[in-house]
Chains A and B, each alone.
Chain A
Amino acid sequence: MASLNTAPDTWEAALERIRAAASACVEGDLSRLRIDEPAFTLEVRRTRRPAPVVGPAGAQLHLPETIEAPMGEPAHTNGVAHEPAPTLIKADLVGIVRLSKPLVSEGSSVSEDRELAYVESLGTHNPIRATAPGTIRAVFVTDGQPVDFGLPLFSIVYE
């Protein structure tokens, strides 16, 4: 796992950092973990509802569905326990992600089946949609970025 106190220089490194922080959060049974460095701030919060999913000893660490990890600015800590758990929308194939217009950002309300982005892979367009109406909590990718299997693209709170 990545060291927690040097600045991530690539997006991959940043994701690795989030995973490490998330796992530290789960392993230490913490509800909040914040790292303040001159170059960056990373805060991971864990909601207690539903119970966090922790794999068996030795299982690979996945970003539990109930963890959100905003980068660059400290997140609000008020009312964490009362918010509905966000769902991560992940890439299910390898390719280049293209954000669909109108672009969504934190706070955007989206309708069911709204195309949030598509993944371009071997010349095919593979739409990424909201499966229900909801509110975008985070956009983890930038337009034109390479994505691989299982990479979180959006965090959304479904109604």
Chain B
Amino acid sequence: MIRKILIANRGEIAMRVNRAAHELGIATVAIFSEPDRGSLHVKHADEAYCVGPGPSARSYLNIPNIISAAQVSGADAVHPGYGFLAENARFAEICADHGLTFIGPSPTVISQMGDKATAKRIMQEARVATTPGSDILESLDAAHKAARRLGYPILLKATAGGGGKGIRAVRTPAELEHAFATAQAEAEANFKNGKLYMEKLLEAPRHIEVQVLGDTAGTIVHVGERDCSVQKPSHQKLIEEAPAPALSDRVRSRLHDMAVAAARAVKYTSAGTLEFLASGDDVYFMEMNTRIQVEHPVTEMLYGVDLVAEQIRIADGQRLSLRQKDLVPRGHAIECRINAEDASANFAPAAGMLESVVLPGGSGVRVDSFAYAGFAVPPYYDSLLAKVIVHAKSRREALAKMDVALRETYLGPKTTVDICRTIIADEAFIAGGVTIDFLPALLSKVSLMRDAQATTDAQPSAV
């Protein structure tokens, strides 16, 4: 029986977990870094322990201090939130070694899904569609053969790769020789392993993901999909919605079925997300996130479930309280991420004192935030200040509601409020089904218009 949860995170997700725990009658322990001493997540927890100075490596990633705080406070479970230690299999193991229930899947599943090659192999065995690709390419000749089989454009990838290193997009056979040599050299230099493989490059795909829940008795359900195609040039999501618009019922149910099959294949226990790339009617598994996600509230609004409470119940060994046939989506939900960022300067972080905080409200409007006027946002962490989520009967009404909610929102001079308003007023977005190239293209357009406006403003008046 879980009685006290240490929340190994900060900001809005720490607040979110705190709420779920308190609603279940479970006590909470917050951890914080020195600059976060005044954070709301600290004030709302039953107890709080400072675990180190500002830099994450010395505080929110400081495993000995976090485990010690759990022991000193008498916590019996740890919720990792997202980011930080959420997908660190070793941390999950250490929790178990110290008699703490890790609220998430098993360390084995975390490490299996954390390794791209292993994850892909498991998904193939579970008959989940993965991006068509090759084995390790022993030579340029083998690369030419594989590219002909897959069809251009293709991606060359380092087997040991990560962080975008050792990846080359190749659009024509003529480019292949040079790309092969440079990708190999880069992989050798960065990972001391020059081995390459090839994947089909999906041009302008949509990012659609499926929420799953699994309990320790082996029950797996899906809680529908989310469309997260509105991404910054850095591939960070900005707006998410559910259900995915402009998606055929056939593709939608295929996604749901594959997600359940995938979760079943790894005997998944907790809340998890399977991310897919969709291009036309083709959908391919990309990766599985073995944690709660930032955008989970759109699913909660659409289905009327509490995913974090489910995570806690599952970790406590309880059966899922939801059956697949009871999980019925109602209406439409949209989330906008309000970050302390300058959208006109490539989303450069704009941390600092929150002089004024005005958050929206009203029927069907949910705000998950830790912002308050007078809080100095530390520069060490991600720039998410608030998530504005709306729920309405239809997508059209949800968009109208979001626009009103964003008009009410003020968190400072440099936030993503304005760019979110521009996006939801854009014709292509309103039509639905935009691809991951949508926002980068919109940003160039907005920046061109701004430059043109600046030129016009600079002209002397003709009157």
Contact = CB atoms under 8 A, between A and B. Distances in A.
Contact of A148 (B50, B352, B376): B50
Interface residues of B, number: 24
Interface SS, B side: mixed
Contacts of B53: 149-150
A57 B353 contact: yes
A95 interface: yes
A146 B352 contact: no
Contact of B72 (A58, A59, A62, A146): A146
Given A59-B376, A60-B37, A93 B64 contact: yes
Contacts of A150: 34, 50, 53
B34 A94 contact: no
Contacts of A122: 64, 67-68, 71, 98
Nearest to B94: A122
Q: Which of A96, A122, A148 has the most CB of B within 10 A?
A: A148
A151 B72 contact: no
B420 interface: no
A121 B34 CA distance: 19
Chain A contact-residue range equals 10 to 19
A90 to B, nearest CB: 10
B50 A149 contact: yes
A146 B31 CA distance: 14
B67 A60 contact: no
B370 interface: no
B353 A94 contact: no
A94 B376 contact: no
A148 B71 contact: no
B381 to A, nearest CB: 14
B361 to A, nearest CB: 27
A149 B353 contact: no
Nearest to B34: A150
A32 B248 CA distance: 72
Interface string A32-74: 0000000000000000000000000111101000000000000
A14 B72 CA distance: 19
Given A58-B353, A58-B376, A121-B64, A149 B72 contact: no
A148 B31 CA distance: 10
A94 B68 CA distance: 6
B360 interface: no
A31 B149 CA distance: 80
B73 interface: yes
Contact of B49 (A58, A59, A62, A148): A148
Interface of A is mostly: loop
A12 B47 CA distance: 9
Interface string A93-106: 11110000000000
A148 B64 contact: no
Nearest to B39: A60
Nearest to B66: A94
A57 B68 CA distance: 33
Contacts of B35: 60
B69 interface: yes
Interface in B58-90: 59, 64-69, 71-73
A151 B352 CA distance: 25
B353 A60 contact: no
B218 interface: no
B38 interface: yes
A148 B34 CA distance: 11
A60 B68 contact: no
A93 B50 contact: no
A146 B34 contact: no
Given A60-B38, A122-B68, A122-B71, A94 B352 contact: no
A151 B47 CA distance: 15
A150 B59 CA distance: 12
A125 B66 CA distance: 17
Interface in B341-378: 352-353, 376
A115 B29 CA distance: 31
A93 B72 contact: no
Contacts of B72: 94-96, 146
B384 interface: no
7 contacts: A60-B376, A94-B65, A94-B68, A94-B72, A96-B72, A122-B71, A149-B49
Given A57-B353, A93-B68, A149-B34, 10 more contacts: A58-B352, A60-B376, A93-B65, A94-B49, A94-B65, A94-B68, A95-B72, A150-B50, A150-B53, A151-B50
Interface of B: 34-35, 37-38, 47, 49-53, 59, 64-69, 71-73, 98, 352-353, 376
Q: Top 3 nearest A-B pairs by Cβ distance?
A: A58-B353, A58-B376, A148-B49
